[in-house]
Structure 1
């Protein structure tokens, strides 16, 4: 399902930071669990170079400021609801510096394994200047928790997400103007249309706050690691 016109590209890609979801993407596990959807994010920070041609207009893509992303979804359908956020254009409000070796990604909604639906589950990872934070419900021993809310307003879509383990917690807040997004017509491989709307954009902005538990005055307290400005955030929401 697509609009009229033409599009072509001549691109190379350098995948610099990956998020490996874990054993759940193994074929044997997928076959047993009968997951509706599998996901692997090989390039949550990717540098693209080359060109993209849309109709008669050609655009130059530069590795230094493309803020690229590359992943793979496979299976029978996206989850409903579907939530996805990712960015590697990040600045620290605390240090005032650009985070050159950082990227984050969050994805999921209501995963299905056979007849079982699991509400309010998002996979999340933040590669923070070489240090990995992960929130992965398939790794139950890490005791991950997730809360999220997506609001579709008249002029923008807003994502509010809290993910935590006993040791770490990350707040993510992103918004994107609807005029800069596409409302996709998405059709599943078997021809069904399960999403009445699927908003997709690449110009989301907002912030991420990272906390770790630390002992202060003989008490465990949440201590801020960084307060991060987010730009060029890839963002999706659908149901």
Structure 2
């Protein structure tokens, strides 16, 4: 990969990474988020779909759920495929369906493919169904999910990538150095197809899907946990939609060989074909990052300032609490450390992008962002 490029597609990095020690204590997930339109009203509605694999080497005939009291007492680590799907808004919910990994067909090398019963995920296709009754959700808190029903049948066109290039691009012997890895094969993706949620149909069209697709893998999650991204962007300079642009920010407090680094974020802006890279692992860019997260009575707010030797990006994103949920995961060791992980898809805000000219900052554009995917959480909250 060219050292100063991040829009480099690499399906090998999107393949299953649970080899070696990660097979016994590791997770790998493929995340998808997009906007659909109500078939009757045309109203926008955001959705997310994720395929999450945990500890494949520990597979049993039935899914092993780490939050089940008996398993917690015996310190049994979880093992399963979890198909997660849901929506944001005032009816925000997350639905989980679990499979034993003995009943999952996986094409582990690139291009990846995961299939279990009527659920399928691959580079270009998503299909599945989840149905959880109110009684079942209440009776099974170890499922960590809400009640509802969703089905989806989608195609994906991954157009712009964010290839982080750090850690996982090193030889395999170093592939477990970091606690959490990230690759966005479809930082800007176009989705098409249909979603049916609680009996209502939604149409997904590529030009209005504002889609995103990435993956994370590792042995643990980061804390704090930060994610912001959107490709629904309008230039304040011209008033026009930016058709070939996307920004993506993620990270928090990475660990290398179990040693936490200072609070750091990876950030990029693909601005109408020009790459602005704020990846702290590229030492020659001398990246500096400041970020904060605030809660008001009704909103959560992210402030991020990133600087490299060539440019500055200032990002402020808002999201209404009523449109968000606390997204649930358990880590491969069976603990559930993130219990206050804000997650939304209805964020909005501004990004100010500057070029450095000597000691001066020259405004490239101030960009209005909507349909922003957003996350923040810390352990112990």
What's the TM-score bracket when you normalise by the shorter of the two chains? over 0.9
Is 2:338 the partner of 1:195? yes
Q: 1:135 aligns with which of 255, 278, 284?
A: 278
Query: Superposition RMSD on alpha carbons, in Å?
Result: 1.5
Q: Is the 8 A contact 2:156 2:189 kept in 1?
A: yes
Q: 1:111 aligns with which of 254, 277, 296?
A: 254
Corresponding residue of 2:361: 222
Corresponding residue of 2:195: 52
Corresponding residue of 1:231: 370
Corresponding residue of 2:311: 168
Corresponding residue of 1:99: 242
Deviation at 1:116, TM superposition (A): 1.1
Corresponding residue of 1:76: 219
Separation in structure 1 between the aligned mates of residue 251 and residue 291 of structure 2, nearest angstrom: 11
TM-score, length-scaled by structure 2: 0.60
6 and 189 in structure 1: CA distance in 2 versus 1, 3 angstrom threshold: farther
Shift >6 Å, 4+ stretches: none
Please state which structure has a larger fraction of its residues in strand.
1
Deviation at 1:33, TM superposition (A): 5.8
Deviation at 1:167, TM superposition (A): 1.4
Separation in structure 2 between the aligned mates of residue 35 and residue 95 of structure 1, nearest angstrom: 42
Q: Is the 8 A contact 1:111 1:121 kept in 2?
A: yes
Separation in structure 2 between the aligned mates of residue 11 and residue 190 of structure 1, nearest angstrom: 33
Corresponding residue of 1:17: 160
Q: Is the 8 A contact 1:24 1:138 kept in 2?
A: no
Kindly name which structure, 1 or 2, has the bigger radius of gyration based on alpha carbons.
2
Corresponding residue of 2:291: 148
30 and 207 in structure 1: CA distance in 2 versus 1, 3 angstrom threshold: farther
Is 2:354 the partner of 1:211? yes
Separation in structure 2 between the aligned mates of residue 76 and residue 205 of structure 1, nearest angstrom: 32
Aligned residue for 2:208, secondary structure, equals coil
Gaps of 5+ in 2: 1-143
**Cα-to-partner distance string for 1:2-43 (whole Å, 9 max, x where unaligned):** 223332210000111111101422263673662110000111
Q: Is the 8 A contact 1:186 1:198 kept in 2?
A: no
Q: Is the 8 A contact 1:25 1:40 kept in 2?
A: no
